[in-house]
Amino acid sequence: MRRRVLLLVAATTTLVLVAFLVPLALLVKNVAADRAVQRATVEAQAMTSFVATTDRQALAASVREVDSSSAYDVSVFVDGEVLGAPASRSPLVTLAESGVSQSGAVAGGREIVFAVDRSDGPTAVIRTFVSDTELAAGVPRAWLLLGALGVALLLVSLLVADRLARTFVRSTVDLAAVSHRLGRGELAARADTSAPGELGVVATALNGLAGRIDGLLREERETIADLSHRVRTPLTSLKMEADALGDPEAAERIGARVDAVNRVVTDVIHQARRRGDPPAVADAAEVVTDRVAFWAVLAEDTERDLTVDVAAGPLPVALPRTDLEACVDALLGNVFAHTPHGTAFRVALAARPAGAVLTVEDAGPGLPGGDALLRGVSGSGSSGLGLDIVRRAAERTGGTVRFDRAGTGGLRVVVELLGPR
């Protein structure tokens, strides 16, 4: 935008300067020529009195003196001779001998002739020649000054336009930056409403939109918190009734299901609360190393071979540490939940220019039927929220989750986690 404004101002200013300076330059040239012709005419007219009355010998001496002191070539045609500066008999001179005084353009300049009636003989002709150089005396310097003035005016206009363009561009860039911050979840970001013109209106509208979104999220969190209290009350009653059952096995099974629902409700509340929080950053290398070390004890107890390949950190990703830990725990927990004892698995974390890629693969039976990312869909009676947690964690960073068949025949889960922007 700034470049376009400068180009527009440069083009407009150039057109205005051309329309103003070109006629002015031509006027300067004409004025200089008229001034030179006028001065030559005055000099020629000043000679008419003594040319008309002076005798031939004195006239020759006077004409030589005038020619030597004048800036122009001065000649007098009398009795077929040329006194003063050498000159040929031009048509204007011939015409002047008949009594007609005038001036006209000739090769190399301009000729001015005056007819003078002498008292002792035929008509004499005073000729003054103004060369092209004398006609244009001072014109190049004047044109140079006009050109310098034009360049100076153009530079001043570009400087003023650049200052104005910077103001508009800065306001536009600030608006874009605020929009990106809002897109990353920084709902406290606000645009400067003092921006000029329509940009200030856009900034005000953007701030209103951000405030509305923030208010809606706050209402959503309050609604979910209220819903959680309403749900937990009957769940607590159900847990107490389960504990009162005479069958300990059934009581334990129902209690486990109630605890699972409680965990789901808690997870939903936490997700809703984090939705309005500013984005956090976690070191993926550190978190994956810690969680793998935690699960390695269970892997050893269940006789599972564990292969770990974690790239050197830090590997920052745009996710809170608790969410990243929950993501890793969900992936590793699924390995233990859906594969037989003794099944080997591998955990790898690779660095990428935009973040990191976490890969968990096992040698088990593979992905069960259905979409494991959907709530409530699982082949082992779980809530199915494990891989849904993984998906939400990846999407929160702007990444993706991909399911493949591992080389060992089991499931490979590849989680792309993008870094902070």
Q: By the 8 A CB rule, do 199 and 171 touch?
A: yes
Q: What is the DSSP letter of 32?
A: H
* Under-70 pLDDT residues of the chain: 1, 119-120, 228-229, 232, 267-279, 367-386
CA torsion through residues 293, 295, 301, 307, sign: negative
Query: Which residues 6+ apart lie within 8 Å of 224 measured at CB?
Result: 268, 269, 272
CA distance linking residue 93 with residue 253, whole number of Å:
133
Q: Which residues contact 279 (CB under 8 A, 6 or more apart)?
A: 184, 185, 186, 318, 420
Model pLDDT, residue 259: 75
Output the six-digit token pair for 8.
């527009």
Give the number of other Cβ atoms within 10 Å of residue 27's Cβ: 11
Between the alpha carbon of residue 371 and those of residues 159, 339, 377, 385, the distances in Å are 62, 17, 7, 11
Tokens read off for 25:
């330059």
User: What pLDDT is stored for residue 156 in this prediction?
Assistant: 92
Q: Could you tell me which of 296, 337, 318, 281 has the C-alpha nearest to residue 416?
A: 318
Domain 282-418, CATH: 3.30.565.10
Contact 314, 286 (CB under 8 A): yes
Q: Which tokens in the block code for residue 305?
A: 């071979």
pLDDT at position 221 is: 74
Residues 6+ apart with CB under 8 A from 107: none
Of 116, 110, 135, 47, nearest to 84 by C-alpha is: 47
- 282-418: same fold as 2-139? no
CA distances from 204 to 175, 197, 211, 308 (A): 10, 12, 11, 52
Tracing tokens 């011939």 back to the chain, one arrives at 94
- What torsion, rounded to 10 degrees, do the Cα atoms 157, 160, 163, 165 define? -50
Please state which CATH number belongs to domain 2-139: 3.30.450
Q: Report cis status (omega within 30 of 0) of the bond before 314.
A: yes
CB of 342 within 8 A of CB of 303? Answer: yes
Q: Residue 288: what pLDDT?
A: 92
Q: Could you read off the pLDDT of 68-78 as tens digits, one per residue? A: 888 888 888 88
Q: Are 341 and 302 in contact (CB under 8 A)?
A: yes
Take residue 245 and report the two structure tokens written for it: 């059952």
Cα 327 to chain centroid distance, Å, stands at 38
pLDDT at 279: 58
Residue with tokens 């999407």: 395
CB 343 within 8 A of CB 363: yes
> What pLDDT does residue 416 have?
92
Task: Give 322-365 pLDDT, tens digit per residue.
Answer: 888 888 988 888 888 888 888 899 999 998 888 899 999 988 88
* Ranges of each domain in the chain: 2-139, 198-274, 282-418
Q: How far, in whole angstroms, is CA 284 from its chain's centroid?
A: 33
d(CA 419, CA 282): 9
Residue 27 is predicted with a pLDDT of 92
